[in-house]
Structure formats: structure tokens, C-alpha cells
């Protein structure tokens, strides 16, 4: 842990990444109560107002809703979905990937083929189809859906790291000292594979944000009046020529969060994988 902090000091990009992420987390937690406007409030005096006018720091959209308030409120849902998605897909990926890799043989083959089938369908298409059938998206259904779409990737990473450790002598030693398969997998091997798994989990966090935004953009994400960054981009597309800021700011929000997390993920992969 102390070494991670030490390495962080000499990595300004990672510091920037953490700073942006913490800023968004702070805004999501405390932001809405600090705003002058609520996210549904329509300021009829200031429709399509440029940034700075009438107390609207980032301007307003066609209905006169404050962009800043909508972006800050939108961060709540997107962060929640992304956090739970990366958690669930990683947890499920570990269980599936570890079982497949550990038992090997036929079990491994069957798991791999199922994962191949899932992977061959683009995650976005898969999510759209299922969300279309389920009807209006909620935070729950979005989380579930994206988690399932990401399990093949996390399972493969988990399986790969398990395989590098399965051949180590400490696993052999555990076997002839009476450990059962469950405790070899999760007690002996899992702690040693956390590095690559954490890196994958942070990468999934970034991908989930893009996925939520994409689904919102395509209209199958969270439904109004919940503000959604992807949806804001598409809603304001009609007024892009008169009010470019209305598209720019939600897009920037998406980009800043994704880039920040990618930087963090890079940092983790440097400290946790390459130097161990």
C-alpha cells in the first residue's frame, strides 16, 4: 500500500485521474444540493441561454433547464451503474473464469465456448435488444444488463491469471497438504491474482460509463425525467448550431470521467502487474 502511494507521487497523470474521479464523486454526492436550480426546473426566461447568463453557469437547453444541474445530477446514475457493473461483472467473472481454468478439460471447453458465443454478439446490441424487451430501463436493469455483457471479458482475464498461478508449486503444495479445490481457488490463488483483476475491474468501470452513455444516446438508457449524459447529447442535437454548449458539456463530462478512469487503470496496471 505504501509503495502504491510512493509510485503515485511520481505519476502526475494518475494523480490527475484520481483528482477528476474524486471531483465527480463529490459532485454526485453533494452537488445537487449546491446548485441554484434543480434538474427539472425550466427557466422560461433563459431558454438556450449561453453559459454564464441568468445564473446558469453552463447555460441552458431548449426548455430552459440548467445544464450544470442536469450534468451533476446525471453523474449520480451513471456512477452508480458503472460502480455496480464493474463490481458484479468482476465477481461473476472471477467465479466463472476460476472454475473454468481450475478444473480445465471439458468444463473449461464448455465455458469457453459459451463465453465465445456471448462475446461474438456486440455488447451494445445485446444490451439494446434485452432492454428493448424489458421496456423502460431502470438503474437495476441497466446494471444487470451491462454486467452480463461484460462477464465474458472479465471471466477470460480471471481465467488467464489463474492459469499462470495454477502451475506454481505452492498450489501443488496445497494439494498434497489436504486443501480442497474451493480453498485452493479462492484462499490460495485469488489473493495472488488480485493485481490483474483490479486492473480489469477499473477498465470495466470506464467501459460501463461509455456503455450507459451510448445506451442513453440511443434512447434505451434511463428514461426522462432522469437526466442522462448520453440522452442529453441526443436531446440537444437539434439545437447544436445555436447552442453548441448544450451538447459540448455533457460530452465533456463523459470524456473526462472515462479518461480519468483509464489513467487510473493504467496506473494500476503499472504498479500491480508489471512491477510485481
Partner 1 sequence: MNHNIILDVQGLSVNYQTYYGTVSALRDVTFKLKEKQSLGIIGESGSGKSTLAFSIMNYLASNGSTDGNILYQGENILEKSEREMVGLRGNKIAMVYQNPYSSLNPSLTIGKQLDEVTIFHRNLSKKDARKESVAILKDLYLGDAEGLVKRFPHQISGGMQQRICIAMALLCRPDLMILDEPTTALDVTTEAVILDLINDLKKRYQMSMIYISHDMGVVNKVSDNIAVMYRGEVVEYGDKKSMFHKPEHPYTRALINCIPRSGIVKEEYRLNTIPGYVRKRSIDEGGCPFLDRCGKRVENCESRYGLREIAEDHFTACDRAFAKDVADDSLIPKKVDVIEKTEDGEALNIVNLYKTFNSRGKKVRAVDGLNFSLKKNNVLGIVGESGCGKSTLGYTVTGLLKPSKGKIYFDGTDISMTWKRRSPEVLKEIQLIFQNPGRSLNPSFTIEQIIGRPMKRLLGIKSKTERRERIIEILKQVDLGKEYLKRKATQLSGGEMQRVAVARAFVLSPGLIVCDEPTSALDVSVQSSVLNLLTDLQQRSGASYIFISHDLNVVNYISDYIMVMYLGRIVEFGKRDEVTSPPYHPYTEALLSAVPDVDPALTKGAVRLEGAPPNPTKKIKGCPFAGRCHKKIGEICENVTPEPVGFGEIHSIACHLYSAD
Phi/psi for 66 (5° steps) reads -70, 125
Residue 51 or 195 having the CB closest to partner 1 = 195
Cα-Cα end-to-end distance for the chain: 13
Q: At 198, which helix (H) or strand (E)?
A: helix 190-217
Regarding 3 and contact with partner 1 (CB under 8 A), the answer is yes
Q: How far apart are CA 205 and CA 224, in angstroms?
A: 24
Collapsing DSSP to helix, strand or coil, 157 comes out as helix
Cis status of the peptide bond prior to 208, with omega within 30 of 0 = no
# chain residues binding partner 1, by CB under 8 A: 16
The minimum distance between CB 4 and partner 1, in angstroms, equals: 11
Using CB under 8 A, pick the residue from 36, 170, 225, 240 that binds partner 1: 170
Member of 33, 120, 136, 169 binding partner 1 (CB under 8 A): 169
Minimal distance, residue 166 CB to partner 1, in Å: 12
Residue 119 touching partner 1 (CB under 8 A): no
204 touches 150 (CB < 8 A): yes
Q: Residue 130 or residue 174: which is nearer to partner 1 going by CB?
A: 174
Which of 11, 80, 138, 192 binds partner 1 (CB under 8 A)? It is 192
Rule CB under 8 A: say whether 188 interacts with partner 1: yes
11 binds partner 1 (CB under 8 A): no
Q: Tell the smallest beta-carbon distance from residue 71 to partner 1 (Å).
A: 40
- Residue 42, Ramachandran bin (φ over 0: left; ψ between -120 and 50: alpha; else beta): beta
Per residue in 51-82, is it b (16+ CB within 10 Å) or e — as a string?
beeeebebbbbeebbbbbbbbbbbbbbbbebb
Q: Please provide residue 65's backbone torsions phi and psi, each rounded to the nearest 5 degrees.
A: -85, 140
Assess 9 for contact with partner 1 (CB under 8 A): no
Single out the residue of 132, 175, 219, 273 in contact with partner 1 (rule: CB under 8 A): 175
- Which one of the spans 82-90, 113-121, 124-132, 171-179 is the region binding partner 1 (CB under 8 A)? 171-179
Amino acid at each position: 500500500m505504501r509503495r502504491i502511494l510512493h509510485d503515485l507521487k511520481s505519476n502526475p497523470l494518475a494523480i490527475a485521474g484520481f483528482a477528476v474521479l474524486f471531483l465527480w464523486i463529490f459532485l454526485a454526492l453533494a452537488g445537487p444540493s449546491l446548485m441554484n436550480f434543480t434538474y427539472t426546473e425550466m427557466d422560461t426566461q433563459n431558454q438556450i441561454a449561453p453559459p454564464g447568463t441568468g445564473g446558469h453557469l453552463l447555460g441552458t437547453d431548449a426548455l430552459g433547464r440548467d445544464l450544470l444541474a442536469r450534468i451533476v445530477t446525471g453523474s449520480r446514475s451513471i456512477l452508480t451503474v458503472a460502480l455496480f457493473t464493474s463490481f458484479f461483472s468482476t465477481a461473476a467473472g472471477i467465479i466463472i473464469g476460476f472454475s473454468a481454468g481450475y478444473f480445465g478439460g471439458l468444463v473449461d471447453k464448455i465455458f469457453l465456448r459459451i463465453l465465445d458465443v456471448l462475446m461474438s454478439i456486440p455488447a451494445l446490441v445485446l444490451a439494446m435488444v434485452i432492454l428493448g424487451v424489458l421496456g423502460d430501463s431502470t438503474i437495476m436493469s441497466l446494471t444487470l444488463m451491462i454486467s452480463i455483457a461484460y462477464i465474458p471479458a472479465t471471466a477470460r482475464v480471471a481465467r488467464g491469471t489463474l492459469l499462470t498461478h495454477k502451475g506454481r508449486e505452492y498450489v501443488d503444495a496445497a494439494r498434497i497438504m489436504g486443501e480442497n479445490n474451493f480453498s485452493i481457488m479462492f484462499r490460495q490463488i485469488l489473493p495472488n491474482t488480485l493485481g490483474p483483476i483490479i486492473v480489469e475491474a477499473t477498465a470495466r468501470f470506464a467501459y460501463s460509463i461509455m456503455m450507459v452513455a451510448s445506451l442513453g444516446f440511443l434512447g434505451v438508457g434511463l428514461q426522462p425525467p432522469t437526466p442522462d449524459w448520453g440522452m442529453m447529447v441526443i436531446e440537444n442535437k437539434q439545437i447544436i448550431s445555436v447552442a453548441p454548449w448544450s451538447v459540448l458539456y455533457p460530452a465533456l463530462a463523459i470524456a473526462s470521467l472515462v479518461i480519468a478512469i483509464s489513467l487510473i487503470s493504467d496506473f494500476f496496471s503499472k504498479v500491480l502487474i508489471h512491477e510485481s
